[in-house]
Amino acid sequence: MEIQFYNTLTKQKEKFIPLNEKEVRIYSCGPTVYKNATIGNMRTNIFQDVLRRVLKYNGYKLKHVMNITDVGHLVSDGDEGEDKMLKSAREENKSPLEIAEYYTKLFFDDLKALNIETPEIVCKATDHITEMLEYVKKLVANGFAYETSTAIYFDVSKLDKYGILSGINLNEQKSGARVEVDKEKKNPYDFALWIKAPENHLMKWDSPWGPSYPGWHIECSAMSLKYLGEQFDIHTGGIDLIPTHHENEIAQSKGACGKIPARYWMHGEYLLINGGKMSKSLGNVYLLEDIIKRGYNPLVYRLFSYSCHYRNKLNFTWEGIDAASKSLERLKEGYKKHLLGEEQVNKEVVDEFENRFHKAINDDLNMPLAMGVVWEVIRYEKKSKQLADLLLKFDTVLGLKINEEDAKEQIPEEITNLLEQRSKAREEKNWAESDRLRDLIKEKGYIVKDSKDGATVEKIK
């Protein structure tokens, strides 16, 4: 069945035709591992995972590369400020390597909790310094880069056109350009490929330009070239990467290989919190851990993200998460009813459901539409194992583990001990102590429920 993807490059939906029928090659810009990933970051990762799963549903094999940025991503995308890794290392009093290892592990823990598949190749920037240096040398040799006293810059005026993804008009921008950090830059949109390290800089490598370190954009060009070749099928990322990072990747590839590296550019929209931005100052930066702490299965967030197309803004609210939690329960119950059902359903009915689901996911990953079909199957009046099997097939795309029971929540030992002490106090009619222990249990996030069979605790949601 035909697949259509919206391509940011051409600004329209296009039929997807891979360069190689047997294997689809994808590059995704991965995390900068200097802090916890937020549920916003995870929305982008879920979108990328759905893309993978939809391609596999269509029978394709994948070679998917995701980088881990552990050097060179400065605080501002305009080549200004400190390296994010170094800033975090300084603030947390750790080495950049410790910071990278710590946050990389947390990132992969989140992916696992969300049932997000690990790409075939995961590669770290610091493991590819040689490839990046070679790339920069090639750009210099091809006349696309120049040296200043602080860095090696890409010269955007050497390209036939810079800004094809975001439609920037260089002439308009020039007049209103901001004050540059480096006065030796030739054009406002020139960007750093390689940065000369000040003395005492923690992460630096020898280069023809002295001790220095890579800019952020060069790592993706060097690693995609190494693992996927000069041109591959799909490049993905969050929408914020379009105007700078992805424009610069395209510029680099054109300068080094004369080609736009990917044929289809797919971008996920942002997750909003209560209609606005997630920001530290508003105190509304949520991690997946926050959702888990409130007692939800993390896959509830995955299901929540299907309430909206990946190219539209999605508004996060706790009410939304609560509704998604109930929906996930209903999905699991519905699946079980079909599994135990003994009625027969016409093959045409099953095929029609399958066909509509397949059409929806192939239409630029239309998950809200696909979920509509899933609910029709769940609610279908005849309960049949054929439909349970169909739901399991759909779940290869949904990734919701609809056939797995939720693990019963483990009550921590500390709470069970407190509960025992409270029972004892009650037996001894020591009501003050019993009340104190109940309040203490509450402080620790659990509510005590008394019944004729004794006391139990429940996590406060």
By CB under 6 A, name the binding residues for ligand AMP. Answer: 31-32, 40-41, 43-44, 237-238, 240-241, 268, 270-271, 278
Q: How many CB atoms sit inside 10 A of residue 351's CB? A: 11
Q: Shortest approach of ligand AMP to residue 232 CB, angstroms?
A: 19
Interface map 2-41 toward Zn ion (x if CB under 5 A):
---------------------------x------------
Binding at 32: pick from ligand AMP, Zn ion, none (beta carbon under 5-8 Å per type)? ligand AMP
Q: Shortest approach of ligand AMP to residue 241 CB, angstroms?
A: 5
Q: Shortest approach of Zn ion to residue 217 CB, angstroms?
A: 7
**How far is residue 63 from each of residues 29, 228, 307, measured CA to CA in Å?**
14, 8, 28
Binding at 271: pick from Zn ion, ligand AMP, none (beta carbon under 5-8 Å per type)? ligand AMP
Q: How many CB atoms sit inside 10 A of residue 167's CB? A: 9
Interface map 215-234 toward Zn ion (x if CB under 5 A):
-----x--------------
**Which residues of 222-325 form beta strands (DSSP E)?**
232-238, 262-268, 271-273, 314-316
Tokens 């940065």 correspond to what residue? 195
Q: Shortest approach of ligand AMP to residue 317 CB, angstroms?
A: 14
φ/ψ of 163, rounded to 5, equals 105, 25
Q: Shortest approach of Zn ion to residue 136 CB, angstroms?
A: 16
Which tokens in the block code for residue 366? 């239309």
Q: Shortest approach of Zn ion to residue 250 CB, angstroms?
A: 11
Does residue number 165 form part of the binding site for Zn ion (CB under 5 A)? Answer: no
Report whether 79 contacts 148 (CB < 8 A). no
| Calpha distance 54→271 (Å, rounded) | 22
State which residue, 43 or 63, has the beta carbon closest to ligand AMP. Answer: 43
State which residue, 67 or 362, has the beta carbon closest to Zn ion. Answer: 67
Reference 275, options 218, 306, 233, 319; nearest CA is 319
State which residue, 29 or 321, has the beta carbon closest to Zn ion. Answer: 29
Q: Shortest approach of ligand AMP to residue 127 CB, angstroms?
A: 20
Which tokens in the block code for residue 229? 């070749």
Binding at 220: pick from Zn ion, ligand AMP, none (beta carbon under 5-8 Å per type)? Zn ion
Helices 84-92 and 96-113 pack at an angle, to 10 degrees, of: 100
- Rounded to the nearest 10°, the torsion over CA 298, 299, 300, 305 is 110
Q: Shortest approach of ligand AMP to residue 406 CB, angstroms?
A: 27
State which residue, 85 or 374, has the beta carbon closest to ligand AMP. Answer: 85
Residue type, 83: D
State which residue, 14 or 240, has the beta carbon closest to ligand AMP. Answer: 240
Binding at 386: pick from ligand AMP, Zn ion, none (beta carbon under 5-8 Å per type)? none
State which residue, 41 or 297, has the beta carbon closest to ligand AMP. Answer: 41
- Paired residues of 76 in beta bridges: 80
State which residue, 51 or 271, has the beta carbon closest to ligand AMP. Answer: 271
Q: How many CB atoms sit inside 10 A of residue 232's CB? A: 24
**Count residues contacting Zn ion (CB under 5 A)?**
2
Report whether 423 contacts 256 (CB < 8 A). no
Tell whether the torsion through CA atoms of 189, 190, 194 and 197 is positive or negative.
negative
Reference 154, options 163, 169, 165, 144; nearest CA is 144
φ/ψ of 104, rounded to 5, equals -65, -40
State which residue, 120 or 322, has the beta carbon closest to Zn ion. Answer: 120
Binding at 399: pick from Zn ion, ligand AMP, none (beta carbon under 5-8 Å per type)? none
Interacting residues with Zn ion (CB under 5 A): 29, 220
